[in-house]
Amino acid sequence: MYRNIYFIGIGGIGMSAIARYYKFKGLEVSGYDRTETELTRKLCAEGIGVHYTDSPELIPQDIDSTLVVYTPAIPEDLQELVTVRRKGYKVVKRSRMLGEITDGQVCLAVAGTHGKTTTSTLAAHILTQSGEGCSAFLGGISKNYGTNLLMSANDVVVAEADEFDRSFLQLHPQIAVITAMDADHLDIYGDLEHVQEAFRNFASQVSSAVIKKIGLPLGKEDTPAKLYTYSLDSPQADFYASDIRLQPDGHFIFDLNHPGGVIRDIKLGTLGWVNVENCVAASAICLLHGTAPESIRSAAESFQGVRRRLDVHVNRPGLTYIDDYAHHPAELATAISSLKQIFPGRTVTGVFQPHLYTRTRDLAIGFATSLSLLDELILLDIYPAREEPIEGVTSDIIFKDVTCPVKRMMHKEDLLEYLASRDLDVLATFGAGDIDRLVQPITEMLEQR
């Protein structure tokens, strides 16, 4: 029996949720990450030891009682990872841990190349507010609960099913939503065909119900579960919104159509048409699980969203600032079009930090097309994360094809001074790198205007 759980890459959003889970279960939990963040500081405050240097001597020395969990985002030559493998520690990937935790429980999973974090967080919120409760492993920080982990005494678990490194194939859910099957993580999959094949493999592991976004290339032959569809507003789907009304405050009210009837006048607590679509998907999971329709309406209105998902930081007449995690062309197009709809006639300035050299190389044309929806683009350097530079791959391969009226490239270090000199209307920051570290300084600068 393990007494110590040691995490290599503990500051990742998925890793930190599992670390919190084992701390809650009473085990000794510690780990390494490359940089200190707000999330790692919170882990430390919760009694989880975190260090930021590659230091094998800080790993618990009792090999037999220590389980080591690592994320594939960690370089293979990291000395801590090399050391635990050489010394014979039990070493497993994060995805396997989530599979073991959910095994034997009622697993409700959300998969998809985008949309899964908000959808899974809202599903967990609906179940919590209904009184049934659930445990939840989320890919973002819920603004309702201030955490990426919910714990419940019952056996219902909501899990974000991550396609990176085929991690979601460790899960065997009873009910699953699939939100999107776009080309992404091509450094892992090679091409779109293999991405879609992995999603079909995931669907084959679902036992009760699969709810796919209408139009996705996944059929009844791909899963033993009953197949349903959802859509923003298509009556051809099993679950869809109708009579969608945009309110003066930017929120939507709509009716939710489902196989059992209609839930009328749902007011969504978060902004954007994309969140109406996410709400349809989350509601579908819960309704098929057996949640009462009235619980859907009340939970949707009280839902505050997820940090860094159309996350409003400043919103007063003439000045709005929103931050979003979008790092894929489809996500950017969805977020920008949502902002254009919420704030019609206003000038939208977007700051985008590309994430990964491979993603930038593989999807450059798509990025340029999506970013062209902006009125003004400020494009930053590529955030490398786990990757080494690739010759010829810079932000310029996106920038050259962007057609919005105003566009600029600059270094991240120069951004704050530039924004301070600008007469801004609607400002949005996008990206999955370290652009989040600028959110608070930008917010403070704008609030002082």
What are the residue boundaries of the structural domains of the chain, listed by start?
Answer: 4-93, 103-302, 311-447
Residue 93: alpha-carbon gap to chain centroid:
19
Mean pLDDT, rounded, for 17-23: 96
pLDDT above 90 as % of the chain: 94
**Interval 386-427: pLDDT, tens:** 899 999 999 999 999 999 999 999 999 999 999 999 999 999
pLDDT at 300: 98
Q: What is the per-residue pLDDT for 320? A: 96
Which fold, 311-447?
Answer: Protein-Tyrosine Phosphatase; Chain A (3.90.190)
* Predicted local distance difference test score (pLDDT) of residue 140: 93
Distances (CA, A) of 129 to 114, 239, 275, 286, 303: 25, 21, 18, 12, 10
pLDDT at 426: 97
pLDDT tens digit string along 24-73? 999 999 999 999 999 999 999 999 999 999 999 999 999 999 999 999 88
Q: Phi, psi at residue 50, to the nearest 5°? A: -130, 135
- Cβ-contact 34, 169 below 8 angstroms: no
pLDDT-based confidence at residue 188 (cuts at 50, 70, 90):
confident
Q: How many CB atoms lie within 10 A of CB 408?
A: 12
Query: For 4-93, which CATH class?
Result: alpha beta
For residue 150, the cross-strand partners are 136
Can you tell me the mean pLDDT for 225-233? 98
Q: Which two structure tokens, joined as six digits, stand for 243?
A: 């009579």
User: How many residues appear in the chain?
Assistant: 449
Angle in degrees, 0-180, between the axes of helices 357-371 and 329-342, rounded to the nearest 10? 30
> Mean of the pLDDT values across residues 203-210?
98
Mean pLDDT of 326-350: 95
CATH superfamily of 103-302: Mur-like, catalytic domain (3.40.1190.10)
Q: Cβ contacts of residue 405 below 8 Å, gap of 6+?
A: 375, 376
Torsion angle in degrees (nearest 10) through CA of 386, 387, 393, 397: -20
How does pLDDT run across 300-319, given as a tens digit for each residue?
999 999 999 999 999 999 99
